[in-house]
């Protein structure tokens, strides 16, 4: 059984996870999830959906969340590189309204655990970046909400100035104008 290094972030309940990688002249092998190992570190979830996206350099997806069906996400990059961000939307949290960002890449093989109750997004830093994630709740398009990526109150230090956004992602409110928060 492989070991995982769980590193706490500045946000409550959010972790950067480094899997043990076994490599030789043939390539490498690593576990990307092990229920018992994750449970030991307080991440006790049942995943119900896996997602995979591919994006050109400079595409920003997010900052998304679901209101009634909050999704916990275990995210990683299998090709390319992203800057990944979580924003705490839990009113009762000591880190409410704070954000944390990390570079994830196929090379560093780091994973990021973002529990339900957070807005989540990422920007691709290389062409043809492939991003995969496990979710502990199904996607409900009618339940999706979001924050605007460049909220001046959050001051997220994105490593790109003019990302490519979907129409939906361009119209999200700032945290101050958001009319929904988690407990």
What pLDDT digit, counting tens, does each position of 44-101 carry? Answer: 999 999 999 999 999 999 999 999 999 999 999 999 999 999 999 999 999 999 999 9
Q: Which residues are catalytically annotated?
A: 64, 133
In-domain check, residue 36 = no
Say which residue the tokens 């997004």 belong to: 121
Total structural domains within the chain: 1
- How do strand 73-79 and strand 21-24 relate by DSSP bridges? unpaired
In-domain check, residue 178 = no
Residue 6 exposed, middle or buried by CB count within 10 Å (0-12, 13-18, 19+)? middle
- What's the CATH code of the domain at 85? 2.60.120.10
In-domain check, residue 5 = no
pTM metric for this prediction? 0.94
In-domain check, residue 37 = no
Q: What is the DSSP string of 55-79?
A: E-TTBEEEEEEESSSPPPEEEEEEE
Domain of 163, in residue numbers: 47-170
In-domain check, residue 31 = no
pLDDT (tens digit, 9 = 90+) per residue, 145-177? Answer: 999 999 999 999 999 999 999 999 999 999 999
In-domain check, residue 115 = yes
In-domain check, residue 158 = yes
């Amino acid at each position: 059984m492989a070991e995982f290094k769980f590193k706490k972030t500045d946000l409550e309940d959010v972790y950067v996870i480094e899997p043990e990688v076994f490599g030789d002249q043939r390539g490498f092998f690593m576990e990307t999830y092990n229920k018992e190992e994750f449970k030991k570190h307080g991440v006790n979830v049942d995943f119900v959906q896996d997602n995979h996206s591919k994006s050109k350099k400079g595409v920003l997806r997010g900052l998304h969340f679901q209101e009634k069906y909050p999704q916990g996400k275990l995210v990683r990059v299998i090709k390319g590189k992203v800057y990944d961000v979580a924003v705490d939307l839990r009113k009762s949290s000591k880190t409410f309204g704070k954000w944390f960002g990390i570079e994830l890449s196929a090379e560093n093989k780091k994973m990021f655990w973002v529990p339900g109750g957070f807005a989540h997004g990422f920007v691709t830093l290389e062409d043809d970046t492939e991003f995969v994630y496990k979710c502990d709740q199904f996607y409900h398009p009618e339940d999706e909400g979001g924050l605007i990526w460049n909220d001046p109150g959050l001051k997220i230090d994105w490593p790109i100035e003019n990302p490519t956004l979907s129409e939906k992602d361009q119209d999200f409110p700032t945290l101050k104008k958001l009319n929904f928060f988690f407990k």
